[in-house]
Amino acid sequence: MQRTATHSQTNEQALEAAIEVALTGTSLEKLKDLGVTTDVAEAAVPYRSGSKFYLGEPQDFDAQLAIDTRRLWHFLETTQGKELDKLKVQADWRKTLLHRLDKMIQRYGTLYVLRKGLDVADAHFTLFYSVPLASSSAEVWARFEQNEFSVTRQVRYNTLKPGEEIDLVIFINGLPIITSELKNAWTGQTARVNGIHQYKTGRDAAQPLLQFGRCLVHFAADTEEVWMTTKLAGSATVFLPFNKGHKEGAGNPPNDSGHRTAYLWKEVLTRYSLGEIIEHFVTLEGKPADPLAKRNLLFPRYHQLDVVRRLIGDAAQKGVGQTYLIQHSAGSGKSNSITWAAYRLIELYPSTDSIPGSKGLTEPLFDSVIVVTDRRVLDRQLKDNIREFAQVRNIVAHATTSGELKAALESGKKIIITTIQKFPHIVSGIADLSDKRFAVIIDEAHSSQSGSAADNMNRAMGKREEDEDERDAQDLILEAMRSRKMRGNASYFAFTATPKPTTLEKFGEAQADGSFKPFHLYSMKQAIEEGFILDVLANYTTYRSYYEIEKSIEDNPLFDTVRAQKKLKAFVERHEQTIATKAEIMLEHFLSHVVAPKKLKGKAKGMVVTQSIESAIQYYFAIKKLLAEKSNPFKIVIAFSGKKLVKGQEYTEESLNGFSSADIKDQFDTDEYRLLVVANKFLTGFDQPKLTAMYVDKKLQGVLAVQALSRLNRSAPWLGKKTEDLFVLDFFNEVEDIKTAFDDFYTATTLSRATDVNVLHELMGQLELVGVYEWSEVEEFVAGYFAGVDAQELSPIIQTAAERFNNELELEDNEKADFKIKAKHFVKVYGQMAALLPYEVVRWEKLFWFLKFLIPHLLITDPVAGAIDELLDSVDLSTYGLERTKLGHSIVLDPAEAELDPANPNPRGAHGGDAEEDPLDIIVRSFNERWFTGWDATPEEQRVKFVALARHVQEHPNFQSQYVNNPDVQNRELAFSKIVADAINKQRRTDLDLYRLFAQDESFRQAMLQAMRRIVGG
């Protein structure tokens, strides 16, 4: 086929021209074809449509001042001539203004003068007319149209090397705000490689145009991807992806009408978009008095810009009373997204008269934005950003009661911050202030526990269950939202990385097929692929325990077999010998793989996750003892709530750590402390980028597994933290269980269908049949409770029902257990579902409150419990061992969208039937057969095993350096003993008898070492 002379342009010049055409309506190439060779800027399509840029010319750019002087003077002459006249009395008035402008930009940055303007002598100049609001007058809109946006190609920016050029620069009224190096992937040049490299090594960041604060962002872009940075620092420059995401991962989706990156110039770089970004998004962090170089410039990532704009647009169209679920992974920058959304919501106006009740509304849609969070950093960001954005600064307040909420509104506060624990009181305030409209942003960064009013009442009535189900933040939010009366005057914006089924049903978008999806998604997959978080599952090592118990008594009593097996396993797992063995492995790994290699420049830290507070305390002492034996190379911290009695000794965080609970985070951040031991505390919402290793000895599943392990995923580029620096050693969970937990939240999470609420009818009917309570008692209790009567008046009602259950009805133990399980299930299911229902069932609500107080008073005797305690007094742990089952295993997650089913609300109760009993010796034997494998070998087999073991010794990485070539006799022998122990440890799964004899019989151990020396030639 013969090619014609005309063909597609695929170089970077073609990409420049495409952007230029999109922004200005023409290009240098088009004008050249028309014969225009001079004064290109004024020959371009007239700047009248409200959608185009001026076409800039390189010769109009002053490299020393980093200003397009033609556009600056044209803007000032046409918009503020009278102010210029005040300066024109001076002969060098242009020089005076430019000098003053340059000085202010060097001191405060371009963003400052765009927002604040410029004072010169007795004149004031506005350098950017604000983006109009929906309610703005025609005059405000006209003012904005007077801004002169321009784009210039091949800008010669370098005062020392006049021929050096930047591909493309965007200006507002002559001031540069964006630079861009463009590549065309069709020619083999990419933004990710060549564009970023060019900025890092081929562009002089000391030149005025590229100095920090002069431009708001620098883009490296090609036809496939966009990358950005706000601070050029040579080879140390950090570029972030500015991509939409593709298939819920990194990159950009195909574009039927052009390049994948066309959104950059067609969506982001438009006049209104840039104006909005300048006015409402770009943030200069730090104190205003700090030098500019010490501050941090934030430009929104694409998904942050997108989610805020989509939320604002939808709320403006639909009005108050909506719910939104934003599923944004850790690493998504939720704090900034929430901050920007809060500020936009306080000035949002309805965009249509179709919103009920909004016709003629000339005030903002929301009277106040309530931010529900526990993060102090978000509190600070909100205040700092409002100071940057707003003319009226004092509009942020805190509220923990409905009274404080009302007072804050009356004093003109627009953004009100509260905690998840205090949220129920705020919901009450929202309901009471029915004439006000609220936007409620829920930052579900933490799982928090809180004492509710019901808990307080239970304490007043003298009893409270200590083993109540833990409630995380999502549960607490839904429980607080049970009341329907606040539905019409509040919109809810829930941010979470791990939405539960009930959260999806309450806040998600209902689909035509009955499923529920998030309103906006930034997935864990995308965050990992874009490098904002690290993959905590890339280096996952699991251990399996092997142990043997023996009878410690001569008798052979009978025990419930199933319960005995569970109790024996728990007995072994919390045994001192077990914890000591695991603690030794944990510390040895931490020292050799984290401390010795000086991970994160010697600042890397680890976390030990344990099953209970008692276990945490045991681990704390075990590790502390091992550290003392190693001359205390560092210190450890323990974290748990309240007080705990262990072996007759009461412990608190303060008594063990030597400092208050409030100081744990700060102390652990210092170089002095390297390991943190926890049970439940700090598993969620704890942000410590120096964490690189986690040692897990606790059952993790579902949301908790994702949240706990994600403590490791925070990136720390200033420390060079990489995925290969992360380690997880898991002594409790199977790889498949962890994979299942993460799969649900790796990409999009969808709820398959709504919850079937009829189960509540069934549960209520079954409870009433037992006769524990009369409905009149329920009515009387609830009426008194909500009337605020003294607890002494309510206590007799609860006691009457409890007495029936405990004594008068003469219920069997199994019947009691069945009733109590179903009562707790009703409370749990209703507590989750009530906020989801579009209607109210008053009887359910009343029974919920009555049972909530009754359940702690229902007593169940466990006839087996005493026997099980006797069982644990009848056995001893004889052998404990660990086998490493997966070494450095990478858990590969499923990229498909996860579909969750509603939480199972099926009625359930205690299972009847007689327990199966076996004699103690049979229980012990079956237990050992399950968890312990012995070594049954003939003398010849033993000889073969010894030779094989010797080979492992010789192959040990330390064999030559620490034994063969070690002149120090004492250290040589210590090293040899350790090498042999390591070799036996690797073989202990199949040679457990040998391992046991080596570990427990000193004479056998010495004989073994002597035999090994002979075999290896030592």
Strand partners, 322: none
Task: Provide the sign of the torsion angle of the four alpha carbons 68, 71, 75, 78, taken in this order.
Answer: positive
The length of the chain, given as a count of residues: 1018
User: Coil, strand, or helix at residue 144?
Assistant: helix
Strand positions, DSSP E, 689-746: 691-697, 727-730
Residue among 811, 832, 829 nearest 769 (CA): 811
Report helix angle 1002-1016 to 939-955, nearest 10: 70
- In this model, does residue 883 exceed pLDDT 90? no
The residue to which tokens 């950093």 are assigned: 377
| Cβ-contact 301, 331 below 8 angstroms | no
Q: Is residue 721 part of a domain?
A: yes
Number of domains in the chain: 5
* pLDDT score for 218: 98
Q: Is residue 906 part of a domain?
A: no
985 and 927 in a single domain? The answer is no
The residue to which tokens 């070539």 are assigned: 965
The 10s digit of each residue's pLDDT in 462-475 is: 444 333 345 566 77
What is d(CA 628, CA 690) in angstroms, rounded to the nearest whole number? 24
515 and 578 in a single domain? The answer is no
| Cβ-contact 473, 444 below 8 angstroms | yes
Residue among 250, 911, 877 nearest 578 (CA): 877
Residue among 459, 652, 559 nearest 866 (CA): 559
Residue 833 or 803, more confident: 803
Residue 342 or 880, more confident: 342
Beta-carbon contacts of 193 under 8 Å, excluding residues fewer than 6 positions away, are none
Mean pLDDT in residue range 36-54: 57
What is d(CA 573, CA 578) in angstroms, rounded to the nearest whole number? 6
The C-alpha R_g of the chain, in whole angstroms, comes to 34
687 and 623 in a single domain? The answer is yes
Confidence band for 840, pLDDT divided at 50, 70 and 90: confident
548 and 673 in a single domain? The answer is yes
Kindly state the percentage of the chain with pLDDT values over 70. Answer: 76
- In this model, does residue 913 exceed pLDDT 70? no
Mean pLDDT in residue range 111-136: 90
- In this model, does residue 276 exceed pLDDT 80? yes
474 and 561 in a single domain? The answer is no
The 10s digit of each residue's pLDDT in 14-23 is: 899 999 999 9
Residue among 345, 405, 338, 335 nearest 376 (CA): 335
What is d(CA 740, CA 702) in angstroms, rounded to the nearest whole number? 8
Which tokens belong to 272? Answer: 């209104």
CA distances from 109 to 220, 290, 732 (A): 22, 12, 53
Residue among 33, 80, 50, 31 nearest 41 (CA): 31
* pLDDT score for 619: 94
What is d(CA 217, CA 224) in angstroms, rounded to the nearest whole number? 19
214 and 261 in a single domain? The answer is yes
Q: Is residue 896 part of a domain?
A: no
How many Å from the N-terminal Cα to the C-terminal Cα in the chain? 78
| Cβ-contact 748, 898 below 8 angstroms | yes
pTM greater than 0.75: yes
| Cβ-contact 518, 325 below 8 angstroms | yes
The 10s digit of each residue's pLDDT in 702-740 is: 888 999 999 999 988 889 999 999 999 988 888 888 999
* pLDDT score for 924: 52
683 and 707 in a single domain? The answer is yes
Strand partners, 609: 678, 696
Confidence band for 435, pLDDT divided at 50, 70 and 90: confident
Confidence band for 252, pLDDT divided at 50, 70 and 90: very high
Report helix angle 842-854 to 453-460, nearest 10: 40
What is d(CA 322, CA 975) in angstroms, rounded to the nearest whole number? 68
921 and 943 in a single domain? The answer is no
Which tokens belong to 165? Answer: 């050029």
Per-position DSSP letters for 769-838, written without gaps between them:
HHTSS-HHHHHHHHHHHHHT--HHHHHHHHHHHHHIIIIIT---HHHHHHHHHHHHHHHHHHHHHGGG-S
Measured at the CA of 449, the angle between CA 448 and CA 453, to 5 degrees, comes to 130
| Cβ-contact 700, 723 below 8 angstroms | no
Residue 359 phi, psi dihedral angles, 5° rounding: -60, 125
| Cβ-contact 24, 4 below 8 angstroms | no
Strand partners, 479: none
| Cβ-contact 626, 587 below 8 angstroms | yes
Which tokens belong to 154? Answer: 């091949």
Longest dimension (CA), the chain: 112
| Cβ-contact 326, 493 below 8 angstroms | yes
Task: Provide the sign of the torsion angle of the four alpha carbons 732, 734, 739, 744, taken in this order.
Answer: negative
Confidence band for 582, pLDDT divided at 50, 70 and 90: confident
Q: Is residue 673 part of a domain?
A: yes
- In this model, does residue 481 exceed pLDDT 90? no
- In this model, does residue 382 exceed pLDDT 90? no
Beta-carbon contacts of 85 under 8 Å, excluding residues fewer than 6 positions away, are none
- In this model, does residue 434 exceed pLDDT 90? no
Q: Is residue 655 part of a domain?
A: yes
- In this model, does residue 770 exceed pLDDT 80? yes
| Cβ-contact 518, 504 below 8 angstroms | yes
- In this model, does residue 158 exceed pLDDT 70? yes
Mean pLDDT in residue range 852-871: 69
User: Coil, strand, or helix at residue 640?
Assistant: coil
User: Coil, strand, or helix at residue 242?
Assistant: coil
* pLDDT score for 469: 43
488 and 339 in a single domain? The answer is yes
Report helix angle 423-432 to 473-480, nearest 10: 20
- 935 by Cβ neighbours in 10 Å (0-12 / 13-18 / 19+) ranks as middle
Task: Provide the sign of the torsion angle of the four alpha carbons 803, 805, 806, 809, taken in this order.
Answer: positive
- In this model, does residue 910 exceed pLDDT 60? no
- CATH number, residue 919: 3.40.50.300
From the CB of residue 132, how many other CB atoms can be counted at a distance below 10 Å?
18
- In this model, does residue 377 exceed pLDDT 90? no
Mean pLDDT in residue range 409-413: 88
Q: Which domain holds residue 437?
A: 302-462+470-522
Which tokens belong to 749? Answer: 């999470």
Which tokens belong to 277? Answer: 């970004």
Residue 522 or 786, more confident: 522
Report helix angle 775-787 to 791-803, nearest 10: 160
503 and 444 in a single domain? The answer is yes
Mean pLDDT in residue range 316-342: 92
Residue 1009 phi, psi dihedral angles, 5° rounding: -65, -40
What is d(CA 501, CA 523) in angstroms, rounded to the nearest whole number? 17
- In this model, does residue 46 exceed pLDDT 50? no
| Cβ-contact 703, 500 below 8 angstroms | yes
What is d(CA 152, CA 150) in angstroms, rounded to the nearest whole number? 7
CA distances from 245 to 248, 496, 523 (A): 6, 19, 9
From 870, 903, 923, the end of a domain falls on 870
- In this model, does residue 7 exceed pLDDT 60? no
| Cβ-contact 579, 571 below 8 angstroms | no
Beta-carbon contacts of 390 under 8 Å, excluding residues fewer than 6 positions away, are 343
The residue to which tokens 């799982």 are assigned: 447
What is d(CA 660, CA 653) in angstroms, rounded to the nearest whole number? 7
219 and 345 in a single domain? The answer is no
Q: Is residue 527 part of a domain?
A: no
* pLDDT score for 358: 45
What is d(CA 998, CA 562) in angstroms, rounded to the nearest whole number? 33
429 and 569 in a single domain? The answer is no
Beta-carbon contacts of 803 under 8 Å, excluding residues fewer than 6 positions away, are none
Q: Is residue 534 part of a domain?
A: no
User: Coil, strand, or helix at residue 182?
Assistant: strand
Beta-carbon contacts of 365 under 8 Å, excluding residues fewer than 6 positions away, are 315, 316, 319, 320, 345, 348, 349, 350, 358, 437, 439
Mean pLDDT in residue range 960-978: 79
For the chain, the average pLDDT equals 82
Confidence band for 659, pLDDT divided at 50, 70 and 90: very high
- In this model, does residue 937 exceed pLDDT 50? no
Residue among 137, 58, 122, 49 nearest 84 (CA): 122
Report helix angle 791-803 to 842-854, nearest 10: 80
Give the rounded distance of the alpha carbon of 473 from its chain centre. 13
What is d(CA 958, CA 596) in angstroms, rounded to the nearest whole number? 15
The 10 Å CB-count burial string (b at 16+, else e) for 924-934 is beebbeebbbb
Q: Is residue 364 part of a domain?
A: yes
